[in-house]
Amino acid sequence: MPLSAWQEADGPGGQLWHTDGARSALRAALQREGFRSADALAGAGLGEALLPAYLCDTLIGPFRQHGLSVRFYDVNPDLTVDMEDLDRRMTSHTRAVLFIHYFGFLQPEPVRQFFADLREKGVGAAHPLIFEDLTHAVWTDLPEGPVGDYAVASYRKFGQPFDGGFLWARGGADGAGGGGRPEPELNTWASPAHCLSALAWALEASETDSPSGGGRRPDGPSTARTLWDGAERHYDRDRVARSMAPGSKRMWEGLDREALVACRRAAYRQALETAAACPHGEALRPHLPPGVCPLVLPMRAGTPAERGPMRAWLARKGLNTVLLWPPAPGVERDDFPGAAETAACLASVVLPLPPGDNRAL
């Protein structure tokens, strides 16, 4: 079962709340830990957060909004955490560390154990909060649960529901392991992002036969695309931690998750078979381990100059690609060679599925 017991309901290992996405989950966790937006506005120096140098820059905002300065650590060219670089950059001022499971594939066991040890032992006398981003791996099997203090995720990249995600916090409902921290403050009123997302979803759902009911995102201008873009701007600007919309939660509860995972795994194998012959690059993950629900097929060009020819070759074979993230602001190639190489050489093959199943790409 791809959705593990730790995600289904509160258990002895942690508590789970439904949010409208990963950004709200981060905001709620930081507020729960006593970081307040007013501290950021007042310019209070509350320490620093260490984030991977290859990431979606929307993850940066919640930390800065809650008074933390943001610094980065490198990732290896295969997108595993560069543990030596991370260890070198941590100081007694490090209050939070975030790591990402990219494209549906879990960080390897030594990396997960590194973060579990860091959570337990800290840096010197300090215990930085460990945030685990499962957005790309939200349907990947994680039977032992997260290793961090908090796990966050967003559902929208997989097509359904049109908004939604979760915040998981270590410690049971009785507060054991959680230090008696308060419930997250989640605003239940619909936001402009909720409303725009719902309208965009409804418009696109009427134009597609996707069995998931998601909508397609055409390349050209459209009313739905304009609504999606407006929703994203509101999600980025919002400083309030919000709950998942009721309609989204009903949709989420009705998902056939086993079918969703099976379809994505079959589509990944299909794309991989074609891409294996590409003369300009190779699959970053040529094997699909059991339990993995892939977001995309990541392809790495031999050199930055070959990425364009690689994408053109794949397009001729019927495989569309997208470029996800440029280097984060302030990330220089000399300081973060792994992240810089990744940003220059990587392209993501959109899995051959109904368009609505890849909506947020």
38 & 159 share domain: yes
Token couple for 245: 């919309």
What pLDDT sits at residue 262?
A: 95
User: What pLDDT score was predicted for residue 172?
Assistant: 59
Mutual orientation of helices 192-205 and 223-237 as an angle, nearest 10°?
A: 160
Which pTM value belongs to this model? 0.89
Q: Can you give the pLDDT at residue 68?
A: 93
Residues 157 and 127 placed together within one structural domain of the fold = yes
Which single residue is written with the structure tokens 């981003």? 133
Domain range for 228 is: 192-240
Residue 299 covered by a domain: yes
Residue 322 in any domain: the answer is yes
d(CA 85, CA 202): 45
Statement to judge: residues 264 and 349 lie in one domain = yes
Which H or E element spans position 347? Answer: strand 346-349
Q: For 338, which DSSP code? A: H
Mapped onto helix, strand or coil, the DSSP state of residue 11 is: strand
d(CA 38, CA 165): 25
Overall domain count for the chain: 3
Average pLDDT of the chain to the nearest whole number? 85
CA distance 212 to 205: 9
Residue 182 lies in a domain: no
Is the same domain home to 26 and 148? yes
Cross-strand pairs, 165: 19, 154
What pLDDT is attached to residue 212? 40
pLDDT at 284: 97
- Identify each DSSP E strand in 125-284 by its residue range: 129-133, 150-154, 165-170, 281-283
Point out the residues of the chain with pLDDT beneath 50.
1-2, 174-177, 209-220
Q: Do 275 and 200 have their domain in common?
A: no
pLDDT at 160: 67
The first and second tokens of residue 328, run together, are 């984060």
Does a structural domain hold residue 266?
yes
pLDDT at 287: 96
